[in-house]
Amino acid sequence: MARKRSKFNIYRVPLQIVVLLLLGYMVVRQFVDSTYLADFEAYCPFGGLQALGSFLISNTLACSMTTLQIAMGLALVLGVLLLGKLFCSFICPIGSFSEWLGGIGARFGIRYSIKGLADRLLRLPKYALLFITFYFTFKSSELFCKEYDPFYALFSGFEGDVVLQYAIPALIITVLGAIFVRLFWCKYLCPLGAVTNLFANALITVPLLAGYVILRRQGNDISWVWPLALICAVGFLLEAFRLKGLRLPPLKITRNPDSCTSCNLCNRSCPMGLEIAKVDKVRHIDCHLCGDCLGACPVEGTLMINRKPLRWLPATAVVILIAAGIYLGGKFEVPTINVRWADDQELAGAEMYSLSGLKSIKCFGSASGFANQMRQVDGVYGVEAYVKSHTVKVFYDPAVLSPQKVKAAIFTPAKSYLEGPAGEVAVLDLKIDKFFDGYDNYYLRLLLEQSEGVYGYSTEFGEPVLAKIYFDAAILTPEQIKTLVESPKVSWEFRGVMQSEKLNFEVPWMGDVVEKIEAMAFLQALFNPFEAEVNDLPEGEVDLQVYQVPLEQAMLSSMQRQMRFLCAHLAKQEAIIGFRTVLTDQPYARISFLGSRISAEEVWQALNEPTLTFNWSSGEAAELPNPFKFKVTGTVVQADLE
């Protein structure tokens, strides 16, 4: 029975449009909301599979990798195994754009379909790109695909991790390839297409992967590079020689030859250019189960899914899988860092201490820094850090540490100088509850420096945290300071844009007596000395001199990182040996140097260059504006002061 044909796929096109509208919203919002940072890879299943592999290999999850990505990656795999390559058809923005651009090429008669041996051989590059992507992702624990992905490059404005010499050619190839060659990127270059085809051949590729896992568990030290290369090679050979999956996925487009009129409308409607009218069951590896051919067929009941009217099923499954991925991504969390440095016997007797709400655990770098900090604590055996929930788990020896000692080891005391007092300084002792990590310290500093009359503060571990506030008693009272600390939020300007953060600090106790100290005692209480070796002292060298220069910024703990940059800058002068800060009658910087090789004037010039130039540990050159203000020239003092 004939029926009305429809070129508009009511199940697929709306989903494609919704995806593009969401991406458009993310792009536009960046221009109207300066605090919003769009993450165009947050829902990417390909990034999720890279993240999962990276975690399984190295027990780490870098900042660009998320649990949500992993959940979406697993949803993709499940979809391929049970239904088909639905992501490529219904969701992928590159696939959607490529189809629409291909329509332009077809309209002008300039789009071609590659067939025969060339079609089979051209399927190799996507497996090579798959190997390269996973290789560099596993080596760096960062998403290598972001360096070349044409989707990410375009929507991120070629910023972030994009490498222009990779991304621009990839984008040009994608656009021109779609116009002149049917779905060139999707068929021949897309590494995610290679992944979905590997799972379509899961009856071979999954046992290969399982065999590697078994061999590793039996103690065979086999690098992950070999199974990755083997699976990519096997995947290409299976695709090139067969062009169909091994029994998977179970759903297929089926044709009833008895009612088929051989009008070939199904062939012309297929985005992949498959010859549907010649087969009873479409088993081609390129079939995405999009359903365009089902809508194009003029005879009802001729084209169906598994010989049943299930045209609605793929789109419904896509929505369910996405919803399930988002739900699961919010329900479980993979640790960003999961490391142990004790043996199995020690770990068997270990206990675990968990602490949540640490806002300073915000990325792979801060989680790694926390792990290094805890590695120095006697009795700690390992840590896990969860960026999403700002949670850490510490595994420790209960014979050496208690939960309170572990918490004390996590806490970092602070000294923060805000401004120099004109005379006597009042000191208020208080306790601050719901205050613990570095970000809490940062917000407290913002609160206090916005109030006239506060000179500085310090914190030390306690439950609640113990704090001293240094202030001018002629301007502020203890009650006013308590009210200030308990402010419900703090606002500040960053790069011309106002920022704000809700706070919930509480002051359950405040000292009855306000101590009074002299200005120098205040400086001594908040001074954080800094010392670093700049260059090695040559053996036998005796002409070591010290250049001392006033530096008020030496009081600021926030400047110690910049001091490391300054030392790296000074290291270009081999005759400069060391740098440190001291407090005598005022804060000073002391630079030790070889007087026979460099003059004090040259040291002064090096300190005051407008730009600090240095190399990162990787060897990459860097520069930044010199943040230090040496207001007056220094003098050469006795070397024994060092």
DSSP code string of 446-466: HHHHTSTTEEEEEEE--SSEE
Provide the residue ranges of all domains of the chain, joining segments of one domain with +: 97-248, 337-410, 419-525, 528-641
- The reported pLDDT for the residue numbered 641 is 45
| Locus of tokens 């536009």 | 28
Q: Which residues of the chain have pLDDT under 70?
A: 1-7, 34-35, 618, 639-642
- Fold agreement between 337-410 and 419-525: yes
Q: Determine the Cα–Cα distance for residues 576 and 547; give it in Å rounded to an integer.
A: 10
**464 cis-preceded (ω within 30 degrees of 0):** yes
* CATH number 3.30.70.100 given to 337-410: yes
- The reported pLDDT for the residue numbered 639 is 56
- The reported pLDDT for the residue numbered 84 is 87
Question: Residue 353: which residues within 8 A CB-CB, separation 6 or more?
Answer: 393, 394, 396, 403, 406, 407
Residue 312 burial (CB count, 10 A): 12
Are the C-beta atoms of 371 and 357 separated by less than 8 Å?
A: no
Helix axes 124-140 and 45-58, enclosed angle (nearest 10): 50
- What is the sign of the dihedral through the CA atoms of 174, 176, 178 and 182? negative
Q: Determine the Cα–Cα distance for residues 161 and 172; give it in Å rounded to an integer.
A: 19
The CATH number of 419-525, from 3.30.70.100, 3.40.630.30, 3.40.50.1970, 2.50.20.20, is 3.30.70.100
Tokens of 105: 């090429």
Q: Determine the Cα–Cα distance for residues 45 and 87; give it in Å rounded to an integer.
A: 9
Tokens of 326: 């988002």
β-sheet bridge partners, residue 393: 354, 384
pLDDT tens, position by position, 212-238: 989 988 888 889 999 999 999 999 999
- Torsion, Cα 199 205 210 216, to 10 degrees, reads -120
What pTM did the predictor assign? 0.76
Q: Determine the Cα–Cα distance for residues 59 and 139; give it in Å rounded to an integer.
A: 12
pLDDT tens, position by position, 247-279: 888 899 999 999 999 999 999 999 999 999 999
Per-residue CA distances from 561 to 138, 145, 324, 558 (Å) = 30, 32, 44, 7
